[in-house]
Homo-oligomer: A and B are copies of this chain.
Amino acid sequence: MKLFSSVNDVQNIDSLVAEALALKQNPHAYQHLGNNKTLGLIFMNPSLRTRISTQKAALNLGMQVIVMNLDKEGWALETQDGVIMNGTTVEHIREAAGVLGQYCDIIGFRAFPGLINRNYDYSEDIFNKFVTYCKVPVISLESAIRHPLQSLADLITIKEIWDTKHPDPSHKKIPKVVLTWAPHVKPLPQAVANSFAEWMNKANVDFTITHPQGYALAPEFAGNAKISHNQHLALENADFVYVKNWSSYNDYGKILSDGKGWMMDNQKLKLTNNAGVMHCLPVRRGLELADEILDSPNSLVLNQADNRTWAAQAVLKNILSL
């Protein structure tokens, strides 16, 4: 693997999940792989889980890690070609990426969407240019429209919990996974939802998305998922419920209503098959997800966060093994 930007960069998602779970059992088994190798983690937007879990994964592999927060105000990058840079951008992404690629063996890069121009965001312009100009393998730490390390960690979590509940190897049932939209006070990217959808569409699960009218994901991400605007119906017999807000794709970047009635709570949990409840974090308690679920054994949010380390380590190990 030379690029980890979407599920399409992964040859076999089941093997990658298996590799991550093996690393979780034996975190320091491949410390020689990263010897004298440097991972650069470049953030155009703030990060907590992604930064620390990826840093930890790299350290487990014996790598050196250099973190750089280039937030939009502090070190604004120019991404358009042919412009006269007499404004507020201080460096062109051609130089910034080119330079960073010389200092690092692998780079993790994060840039969020502007949520104003849909075509621009969905072209993944900044991320793709960074990949082009840095010339070393790149891992997405969340781009304008995808968050693949999160989705891999989510799939690891589903696999881990499902296999624990069904230890019999002859067991053939597949889990019902529901992605449900949730309310939020700020317009959020579609990245986590998009990415989760494209991974679930490739995974061996029965996948449903439920959201209010107007919140349909882009068709290339929704894919063949079952779509429902009736959250109650969608949740019936779910084994896993992924709760997440996103802003509208159609009325791009907008919040269409207050979303009242869409918060996941214990009453809705009763519709499910005692589902594991997931969220990528940070979660707004009492708005997206009820406290009663987050503080219950049904909550898998800490499992997901823990698995971020093993997701990142499996990806790094693959790139280091090139």
Residues on A facing B (Cβ under 8 Å) = 27-28, 36, 38, 40, 46, 48-49, 51-53, 55-56, 59-60, 64, 66, 68, 70, 74-75, 78, 81-87, 90-92, 94-96, 98-100, 102-104, 185, 281-287, 291, 294-295, 301-302, 305-306, 309
A38 touches B59 (CB 8 A): yes
Q: Which residues of B contact A74 (CB under 8 A)?
A: 46
How many copies of this chain does the complex contain? 3
B56 touches A66 (CB 8 A): yes
Most chain B beta-carbon contacts within 10 A, residue among A99, A281, A302: A99
Contact A99:B287 (CB < 8 A) given known A48-B75, A56-B66: no
Q: Which residues of B contact A40 (CB under 8 A)?
A: 52
A52 touches B68 (CB 8 A): yes
**Distance in Å: Cβ of A204 to nearest Cβ of chain B:** 27
What is the CA–CA distance of A313 and B40 in the complex, to the nearest angstrom? 19
B285 touches A78 (CB 8 A): yes
Q: Which residues of B contact A38 (CB under 8 A)?
A: 56, 59
What is the CA–CA distance of A172 and B33 in the complex, to the nearest angstrom? 46
Q: Which residues of B contact A49 (CB under 8 A)?
A: 99
Q: Which residues of B contact A82 (CB under 8 A)?
A: 286, 291
Q: Which residues of B contact A81 (CB under 8 A)?
A: 291
Q: Which residues of B contact A52 (CB under 8 A)?
A: 40, 66, 68, 100, 103-104
What is the CA–CA distance of A157 and B280 in the complex, to the nearest angstrom? 46
**Distance in Å: Cβ of A277 to nearest Cβ of chain B:** 13
A36 touches B46 (CB 8 A): no
Q: Which residues of B contact A75 (CB under 8 A)?
A: 46, 48
Q: Can you report 17 A-B residue pairs in the complex whose CB atoms are below 8 A from each other? A: A46-B74, A48-B96, A51-B68, A52-B66, A52-B68, A78-B285, A82-B286, A82-B291, A83-B286, A84-B286, A84-B287, A86-B286, A91-B283, A95-B281, A98-B302, A99-B305, A99-B306
Q: Which residues of B contact A53 (CB under 8 A)?
A: 103
In chain B, what residue has the closest Cβ to A90? B282
A301 touches B46 (CB 8 A): no
Contact A102:B28 (CB < 8 A) given known A56-B66, A83-B285: no
Q: Which residues of B contact A55 (CB under 8 A)?
A: 66
What is the CA–CA distance of A240 and B66 in the complex, to the nearest angstrom? 32
Q: Which residues of B contact A85 (CB under 8 A)?
A: 284-287
What is the CA–CA distance of A90 and B55 in the complex, to the nearest angstrom? 22
A281 touches B91 (CB 8 A): yes
**Distance in Å: Cβ of A242 to nearest Cβ of chain B:** 16
B70 touches A64 (CB 8 A): no
